[in-house]
Amino acid sequence: MKEKRVLSLALAAALALSLSIPAGAAGGSSFSDVSDRNTAVNADVLRLMGVVDGVGGNRFNPNANLTRAEFCTMVVKFLQKGDQVAMNATRTIFSDVTSRHWALGYVNLASSLTVGGGGSSGSSDGSGDTSAPAAALISGVGNGRFDPDAKISLAQAATILIRVLGYQTKQVGAVWPESYLNLAASIGLTDGVSAGAYSPITRAQAAQLFVNALSCKTGEGSDYYKSLGSAKSDVVMLAVNVESEDGSVARGAIRTSGGTYLPKADNVTPTGLQGRRGTLVTNDKQEIVSFIPDDSTATTVTLSADAQAAYLKGTDGKQYTISGSTPVYTASKSDGESYSSAHTSLYAGSQVTLFSQRGKVVSVYVSGGAVSSDGDAVVVMGPASAATFHKLTGGVENFSIQKNRQTIGLSGIKPYDVVTYDDLSNTLIVSDLRLTCVLENASPNFKAPEKLTALGHEFEVLDSAWDNTGDFSTGSQVVLLLTADGKVAGMAKPSGDVGSTAIGTVTASSAEVFLPSGGTLSLKGTVSSGDKLAGQLVSITSGTKGQIGASKLPTRRAGSAFLVSAMKLDGYTVTPGVKIYEQTNSGSMSRITLGSLNGADVPASSIATYHLNSSNMVDYIVLKDVTGDAYIYGIMVSKTNITEEEVLVVDKNGNPVVDENGNWKYTTKKTDHKTWTLVSRQSTQFSTETDYSGKNGDFVGVSVGQNLSGGTMIRDVKELTEIRNVTPKDFFEKDGSYYVTISGKTYAVSENVECCKKVGGSRYTQDDWFQQNTGAERLNACRVSHQNMTIYIDPVGQQVRIVVGN
């Protein structure tokens, strides 16, 4: 590890470029004057290789023409022979490249290199000079001159790179420049470069040529990049300018999905490659020599609902199918996790970047608040400035800021907020989550704890909390200052300035606190009135060990509609991670997804209440019977159980009757007990005291709750509308969702639609229902099996909830 590789804070700040793209998308160029995405990538590939370092002032000057000397210099560095320049700067080969010219060593070295070999009827760079050896990489323009400051043409540049790739003249052809340009086109060297043969090329075009050359076949038939070192394909560039794995370098390493490495070139931060997927090339010292982006496309998506096992949905309305084996990465670690394991932590509002090849998602990057806060954190105690976060970001100042998954400015960061940093998206993640509780234990001690226990939960503690953990002990009432994923970043004494902001749900003996990352925090303890508050949104706090205080959120009436496409409510911004609940007529609530609104605005009359976070943004909304998603759907099935018991026979006066032997007389009493079960793919059995007045075999939607003994009770029932004689061709798919048109009217098919297999009678068992994981899979299986179907529409959201094959 070289000390000079440790970037100073000032240099890190100079090299970093503010990312104007969504968090999680690929990074912006490290050159301040490059806005074109393709040029940004090409320039940073060459910067990573040490081929370019700009023209000063962190500028690349992409539209300027390139001189012969400049191109010659790039070629020497591209060949990784820069260490041989000094020894070639003590002689004069060309009369116009003397010790006074800055490129003397580069021009001399290039003219001495023999790459490819073979005879030629002209000079190797097409300049017309036949006096130089035919196998030389470059030669002059005649009369012992090189003309270093003349503009280099496309034909000259392509010819030199053909030589770099090791092609002999007999492989190219004798006619210059046509033979060279034809070969260059056939191997992909000139892809993306529009210029005439004799036209001068720009610095951006030259960068494209060099990056193309990395993937071109050599004269011997192998990929050129393989000559530079060991290659590893399908690597995602996760973060640049990070700490090395062994901790010896504070900044300057590059984290990839294949590991964390130092670049061979000094002091480079190729932010244009962040989020790109391709081939990583390393040398025998495990330093990065090059990175060749592949042809995958990167699409950044904000999830409109929690990710499912086989797909996820974006707020753009599109559904993306993802294989369970697809690797999922974050900027905080190199090891990928399979989508089948990782999808359970991808919540509504999470931002992900999908890398696709030929229409298939091949890898996923998760950014923003969903990133685990494994590193350091800052607890803000006063007005925030860029300097507040210098240590956290390594000096980078032009970061974006997200709070509750909404972009904010520095002024939106308040005292006691906790801030962590996502390297890849150059984003500060702000959490205003605080929980008041009583400390039960610290491990190994309160001075430098790794774990804190309160309300039955073991909290992970970051080093940033150690500044004041020693002020507390077992039994202390504290306010835990938590990161977006629920880690303790600091602690404070409860006061009028700082208190609990936790919101969640409760039962009689537990609580679930919602995290800004989208997950939940499980607490245990006695909840006063927990049975009455079950299923409601509540504020959560604790002043006594083992006891949880819960109070229903205050009602805030909406004065205007919820504008779903604009994400506005009463003039307030609605956060991308907003939690939406639907309240039934009985008052019970169930979580629904933003996507279930199908982009339709919700009138104020259908909004029960909403909640504003500390930044005056809407983070919770309660609707009144809008979508019908608050119900579970199936067929009601009754079962009568007969119980027998011996009872004493009494006369009309209540006196026991005795038999002929003088013993009390007993008889057998039979009692009927009717139980109800809502049967579908997943059946729900209700408590024996459930009062249901419907018929056996009714297709219904049911809102459920719990009674005091913990049993499941029916809170509300919706009868479904039956439509018969529906055929498979009546259904159609659009943007990942299914619809059905009957008699000129179109109904949306619920993404959780239940489908029944058998014909006739009441469906009594789960075996009669299709068991595929997704509603689309169940629907398609039913359509294949049955040419005639009956559908059932809910009266609230007018969606198809059940499909029955006839």
Q: Which candidate, 721, 641, 719, 632, places its Cα nearest to that of 678?
A: 632
Q: Residue 616's CB: how many other CB atoms inside 10 A?
A: 10
In sequence order, the β-bridge partners of residue 622 are 581, 609
User: In the structure, what pLDDT confidence band is assigned to residue 257 with cuts at 50, 70 and 90?
Assistant: confident
pLDDT tens, residue by residue, 720-771: 999 999 999 999 998 778 999 999 999 999 989 999 986 555 566 778 899 9
pLDDT tens, residue by residue, 637-656: 887 767 778 888 888 888 88
* Tokens 């992909």, residue located: 188
Sheet-wide strand order for 526-527:
520-524, 510-514, 503-506, 538-544, 547-552, 526-527
Does residue 235 come out as left (phi exceeding 0), alpha (psi in the -120 to 50 range) or beta?
beta
Contact status, residue 124 vs residue 176, Cβ threshold 8 Å: no
Which of 362-376, 454-468, 478-492, 593-607 bottoms out in mean pLDDT, i.e. has the lowest?
362-376
pLDDT value of position 135? 54
- pTM of the predicted protein model: 0.66
169-204 in b/e form (b: 16+ CB < 10 A) is beebeeebbebbbebbeebebbeebebeeeebbbbb
Highest mean pLDDT among 177-186, 253-262, 641-650: 177-186
pLDDT, average across residues 556-582: 92
User: In the structure, what pLDDT confidence band is assigned to residue 117 with cuts at 50, 70 and 90?
Assistant: very low
pLDDT value of position 587? 76
In sequence order, the β-bridge partners of residue 569 are 562, 572
**SS3 (DSSP) at 5:** helix
Does residue 172 come out as left (phi exceeding 0), alpha (psi in the -120 to 50 range) or beta?
alpha
Which of 21-25, 152-156, 329-333, 567-571 bottoms out in mean pLDDT, i.e. has the lowest?
21-25
pLDDT value of position 1? 32
Strands 526-527 and 547-552, how do they pair? parallel
pLDDT value of position 123? 44
Q: Which two tokens stand for residue 652?
A: 């009309």
Helices (H) and strands (E) in the chain, counts: 13, 46
pLDDT, average across residues 505-522: 90
Q: What are phi and psi of 286, to 5 degrees?
A: 60, 40
Cα–Cα distances (Å) from 393 to 208, 243, 418, 671, in that order, read 32, 11, 14, 72
pLDDT value of position 300? 83
Alpha helices in 19-61 (DSSP H): 37-49
pLDDT tens, residue by residue, 395-406: 777 788 988 878
**SS3 (DSSP) at 83:** helix
In sequence order, the β-bridge partners of residue 461 are 488
pLDDT value of position 707? 67
Q: What are phi and psi of 352, to 5 degrees?
A: -130, 150
The H or E element spanning position 300 is strand 297-302
Does the structure show a pLDDT above 60 at 499? yes
pLDDT value of position 367? 67
Average predicted confidence (pLDDT) for the chain? 85
pLDDT tens, residue by residue, 697-727: 899 999 887 765 667 888 889 999 999 999 9
The three-state (H, E, C) secondary structure of 249-269, written as one string: CCCCEEEECCEEEEECCCCCC
pLDDT value of position 345? 80
Which DSSP string do the residues of 404-449 spell out, in sequence order? TTEEE-GGG--TT-EEEEETTTTEEEEE--EEEEE--EEES-SSS-
Q: Residue 514's CB: how many other CB atoms inside 10 A?
A: 21
Does the structure show a pLDDT above 50 at 596? yes
Does the structure show a pLDDT above 80 at 308? yes
Which DSSP string do the residues of 772-802 spell out, in sequence order? -SSHHHHHHHHHHH-SSEEEEE-TTT-EEEE
Highest mean pLDDT among 10-14, 122-126, 216-220, 685-689: 216-220
Strands 427-431 and 400-403, how do they pair? parallel
Q: Which candidate, 505, 478, 477, places its Cα nearest to that of 416?
A: 478
Distance (Å, rounded) from C-alpha 597 to C-alpha 394?
42
Does the structure show a pLDDT above 80 at 10? no
pLDDT value of position 791? 97
pLDDT, average across residues 480-501: 94
pLDDT value of position 67? 96
Contact status, residue 133 vs residue 123, Cβ threshold 8 Å: no
Distance (Å, rounded) from C-alpha 18 to C-alpha 396?
9
User: In the structure, what pLDDT confidence band is assigned to residue 27 with cuts at 50, 70 and 90?
Assistant: low
The H or E element spanning position 612 is strand 607-612
The three-state (H, E, C) secondary structure of 303-356, written as one string: ECCCCCCCEEEECCCCEEECCCCCEEEECCEEEEEEHHHHHHHCCCCCEEEEEE
Distance (Å, rounded) from C-alpha 8 to C-alpha 267?
9
Alpha carbon 118 to its chain's center: 53
The three-state (H, E, C) secondary structure of 104-122, written as one string: HHHHHHHHHCECCCCCCCC
User: In the structure, what pLDDT confidence band is assigned to residue 122 with cuts at 50, 70 and 90?
Assistant: very low
Distance (Å, rounded) from C-alpha 285 to C-alpha 270?
20
Residues 6+ apart with CB under 8 A from 418: 377, 378, 379, 380, 430, 431, 432, 433, 481, 482, 483, 484, 489, 490
Q: What are phi and psi of 466, to 5 degrees?
A: -70, -15
Does the structure show a pLDDT above 50 at 634? yes
Residue type, 569: L
pLDDT value of position 502? 96
Contact status, residue 700 vs residue 628, Cβ threshold 8 Å: no
Q: Residue 441's CB: how many other CB atoms inside 10 A?
A: 12
Residue type, 298: A
The three-state (H, E, C) secondary structure of 521-590, written as one string: EEEECEECCHHHHCCCCEEEEEEECCEEEEEECCCCCCCCCEECCCCEECCEEEEEEEEEEEECCCCCEE
Does the structure show a pLDDT above 60 at 12? no
Does the structure show a pLDDT above 80 at 321? yes
Does the structure show a pLDDT above 90 at 533? no
320-340 in b/e form (b: 16+ CB < 10 A) is bebeeebbbbbbbbbebbebe
Residues 6+ apart with CB under 8 A from 645: 668, 669, 671
What percent of the chain stands above pLDDT 70? 89
Q: Is the peptide bond before 444 cis (omega within 30 degrees of 0)?
A: yes
Which has more pLDDT, 515 or 114? Answer: 515
